[in-house]
């Protein structure tokens, strides 16, 4: 790996000036800005990628894709534009896959696997994989989300997903989005539509300290953290509140939701009949756009950084990965839902989405190469593969230095961290560290180290469950951040690009590095 020398740091700090970069670009208005969040015609070498070119595309991605469904749709659109072919899970894949091809498949609209097949690929060759999670702490609408109006306030029934509705959710500007199941009354066809309201519609107000009840800690999540979404004072006139007069047929889904919200969602979707909505999975999200911050714009402040940071960087790395006629491996990125709640759902990493996708890829290639498909070829593939489990990690904190572990608490704007846990909450070991440090050396990256102190609790990742399910070598690699699991977190402004650089380096060089080992 590239050593962290004064020269490397100087280079990084000269790249830091996003302000200069912005000025540079505004002076050259005639030239189109580089669209580096699209697949380039001729990919650069990993060492030539400039991390600062990924800052603004990352901010845009974060602002416009607040829910897991929006992230999968974003990936899908980018992949289709880059010439990837969708492989629907319900169809047969036999005869559809060819060396040199680019494909993706999704599950539940909330997990996605994309991969490219090397032009020299043969069944039994390895797979360079990166896996991460795109779900984040959130507050989901309850099945019956309508609440009785209190003191003229219209409120919304929500339930926490993972550790949301924690103390950072007070006084935030919250909006609503997700997926809606819609039936067309004319055709009888049922479809899924995505929706996202572009102004804040909800807020969980604190109680002023004057009342003697401290609200900086947890409030009761069922009774004291109920979002307000509107005002209806019609009861003052002795009338039944408008907000309590259900829309839709009695017993319908719409009749169990706040009427004004049903009308808003209908208008967002260009629909009018409340009964065309069969159901929805809507959630609240912090509506504040992602932004750069700091005197020299060194930081990114955004919601949902865990883990739409490593996931986005890994996805960009696949779009920017090099493709050569001699490529003999499959390069794959898998982004999962439900990591924050244990991954044990069909779209989670503990489900069979990744193993069965690999089995189906292999089955298709075995059939076209007249090679018998079975445990033999599958075992051979897994033994020749490598998994990078990517999830954000904790950066060193300036105000709680007692939580930092010297030599193991990564800095912002330096590079990814290889995450080690002695009790195997992470997959990284001496073999996988040696491989990834060699990758860093070839791609001009600095690998930091992360380990939690013995007196702190380590979080988990999708790494152990996936590498155990497939038997592949693995390592955990994270981009550092602060304020993990807060509604508004931060990272370095170069960190998304430094992530892309490292993950691209892995996809570009893993086959070469694997050959350096005497197996
Ligand atoms: Zn998390
Ligand atoms: Zn995470």
Q: What separation in Å is there between the alpha carbon of 350 and the centre of ligand 2?
A: 15
Q: What separation in Å is there between the alpha carbon of 84 and the centre of ligand 1?
A: 30
* pLDDT over 90 (residue 15): no
What phi and psi, each to the nearest 5 degrees, are found at residue 134?
Answer: -115, 0
Ligand in nearest proximity to the CA of 485: 1
Backbone conformation region of residue 188, classed left if phi is above 0, alpha if psi is from -120 to 50, else beta: left
Q: Would strands 448-450 and 138-146 be described as parallel, antiparallel, or unpaired?
A: unpaired
Q: What local confidence, expressed as pLDDT, does residue 29 receive?
A: 47
23 pLDDT tier (thresholds 50, 70, 90): very low
Q: What separation in Å is there between the alpha carbon of 462 and the centre of ligand 1?
A: 11
Digit-coded pLDDT (tens) for 355-385: 999 999 999 999 999 999 999 999 999 999 9
Instruction: Give CA separation, 149 vs 143, 155, 263, in Å.
Output: 18, 7, 17
Q: What separation in Å is there between the alpha carbon of 391 and the centre of ligand 1?
A: 8
Ligand in nearest proximity to the CA of 133: 2
Digit-coded pLDDT (tens) for 289-315: 999 999 999 999 999 999 999 999 999
225-253 mean pLDDT: 91
Q: What separation in Å is there between the alpha carbon of 133 and the centre of ligand 2?
A: 7
Q: What local confidence, expressed as pLDDT, does residue 6 receive?
A: 66
Q: What separation in Å is there between the alpha carbon of 393 and the centre of ligand 2?
A: 8
Is 353 in a helix, a strand, or coil? helix
Digit-coded pLDDT (tens) for 87-117: 999 999 999 999 999 999 999 999 999 999 9
Q: What separation in Å is there between the alpha carbon of 107 and the centre of ligand 2?
A: 20
485-490 mean pLDDT: 98
Distance CA 4, CA 444 (A): 11
- How is residue 191 written in tokens? 């479809």
Distance CA 467, CA 290 (A): 33
Q: What separation in Å is there between the alpha carbon of 136 and the centre of ligand 1?
A: 7
Ligand in nearest proximity to the CA of 478: 2
Digit-coded pLDDT (tens) for 329-355: 999 999 999 999 999 999 999 999 999
Q: What separation in Å is there between the alpha carbon of 490 and the centre of ligand 2?
A: 14
Q: What local confidence, expressed as pLDDT, does residue 518 receive?
A: 85
Q: What separation in Å is there between the alpha carbon of 191 and the centre of ligand 1?
A: 31
Residue appearing with tokens 């097949």: 117
Q: Which of 441, 413, 453, 419 is nearest to 516 (CA)?
A: 441
Residue appearing with tokens 């930081």: 299
* pLDDT over 70 (residue 258): yes
Q: What local confidence, expressed as pLDDT, does residue 185 receive?
A: 86
pTM of the predicted structure, to 2 decimals: 0.95
Q: What separation in Å is there between the alpha carbon of 422 and the centre of ligand 2?
A: 19
Contact status, residue 72 vs residue 112, Cβ threshold 8 Å:
yes
Distance CA 147, CA 49 (A): 52
Ligand in nearest proximity to the CA of 335: 2
H helix or E strand, kind and range, residue 213: none
Q: What separation in Å is there between the alpha carbon of 304 and the centre of ligand 2?
A: 10
Q: What separation in Å is there between the alpha carbon of 181 and the centre of ligand 2?
A: 28
Neighbours of 13 (CB within 10 A): 13
Contact status, residue 459 vs residue 137, Cβ threshold 8 Å:
no
218-230 mean pLDDT: 93
Burial class (CB in 10 A: 0-12, 13-18, 19+), 76: middle
Q: What local confidence, expressed as pLDDT, does residue 214 receive?
A: 64
* pLDDT over 80 (residue 246): yes
Of 239 and 265, the structure prediction assigns the larger pLDDT to: 265
The mean pLDDT of the chain is 93
Backbone conformation region of residue 370, classed left if phi is above 0, alpha if psi is from -120 to 50, else beta: left
Distance CA 27, CA 282 (A): 43
Digit-coded pLDDT (tens) for 150-198: 999 999 999 999 999 999 999 999 999 999 999 998 899 999 999 999 9
Ligand in nearest proximity to the CA of 307: 2
């Amino acid at each position: 790996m590239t050593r962290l020398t004064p020269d490397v740091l100087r280079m990084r700090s000269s790249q830091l000036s996003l302000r200069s970069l912005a000025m540079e670009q505004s002076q050259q208005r005639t030239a189109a800005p580089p669209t580096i969040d699209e697949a380039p015609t001729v990919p650069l070498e990993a060492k030539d990628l400039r991390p600062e070119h990924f800052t603004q595309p990352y901010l845009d991605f974060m602002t416009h894709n607040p829910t897991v469904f929006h992230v999968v749709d974003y990936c899908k659109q980018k992949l289709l534009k880059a010439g990837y072919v969708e492989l629907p899970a319900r169809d047969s894949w036999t005869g559809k896959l060819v060396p040199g091809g680019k494909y993706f498949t999704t599950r539940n609209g909330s997990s996605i696997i994309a991969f490219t097949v090397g032009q020299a690929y043969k069944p039994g060759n390895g797979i360079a994989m990166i896996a991460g999670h795109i779900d984040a702490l959130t507050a989901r609408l309850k099945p019956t989300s309508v609440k009785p109006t209190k003191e003229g306030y219209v409120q919304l029934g929500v339930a926490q997903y993972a550790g949301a509705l924690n103390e950072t959710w007070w006084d935030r500007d919250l909006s609503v989005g997700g997926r809606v199941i819609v039936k067309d009354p004319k055709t009888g066809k049922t479809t899924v539509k995505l929706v996202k309201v572009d102004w804040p519609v909800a807020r969980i107000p604190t109680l002023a300290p004057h009342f003697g009840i401290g609200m900086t800690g947890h409030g009761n999540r069922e009774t004291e953290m109920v979002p307000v979404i509107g005002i209806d004072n019609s009861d003052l006139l002795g009338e039944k509140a408008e907000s309590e007069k259900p829309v839709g047929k009695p017993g319908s889904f719409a009749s169990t939701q706040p009427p004004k919200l049903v009308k808003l969602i209908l208008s967002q979707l260009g629909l009018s009949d409340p009964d065309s909505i069969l159901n929805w999975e809507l959630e609240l999200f912090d509506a504040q756009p992602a932004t750069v911050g700091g005197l020299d714009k060194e930081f990114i402040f955004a919601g949902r950084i865990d883990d739409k940071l490593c996931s986005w960087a890994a996805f960009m790395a696949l779009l920017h990965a090099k493709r050569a006629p001699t490529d003999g491996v499959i390069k794959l990125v898998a982004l999962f839902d439900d990591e924050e709640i244990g991954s044990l759902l069909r779209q989670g990493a503990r489900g069979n989405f990744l193993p069965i996708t690999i089995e189906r890829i292999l089955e298709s290639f075995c059939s076209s190469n007249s090679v018998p498909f079975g445990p033999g070829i599958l075992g051979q593939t897994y033994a020749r593969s490598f998994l990078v489990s990517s999830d954000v990690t904790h950066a060193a904190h300036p105000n709680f230095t007692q939580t930092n572990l010297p030599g193991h608490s990564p800095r912002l704007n330096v590079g990814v961290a290889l995450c080690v846990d002695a009790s195997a909450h992470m997959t990284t070991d001496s073999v996988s560290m040696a491989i990834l440090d060699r990758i860093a050396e070839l791609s001009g990256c600095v690998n930091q180290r992360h380990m939690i102190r013995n007196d702190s609790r380590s979080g988990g990742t999708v790494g152990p469950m996936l590498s155990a399910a497939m038997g592949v070598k693995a390592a955990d690699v994270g981009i550092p951040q602060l304020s993990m699991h807060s509604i508004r977190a931060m990272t370095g402004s170069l960190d998304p690009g430094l992530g892309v650089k490292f993950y691209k380096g892995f996809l570009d060089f893993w086959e070469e590095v694997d050959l350096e080992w005497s197996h």
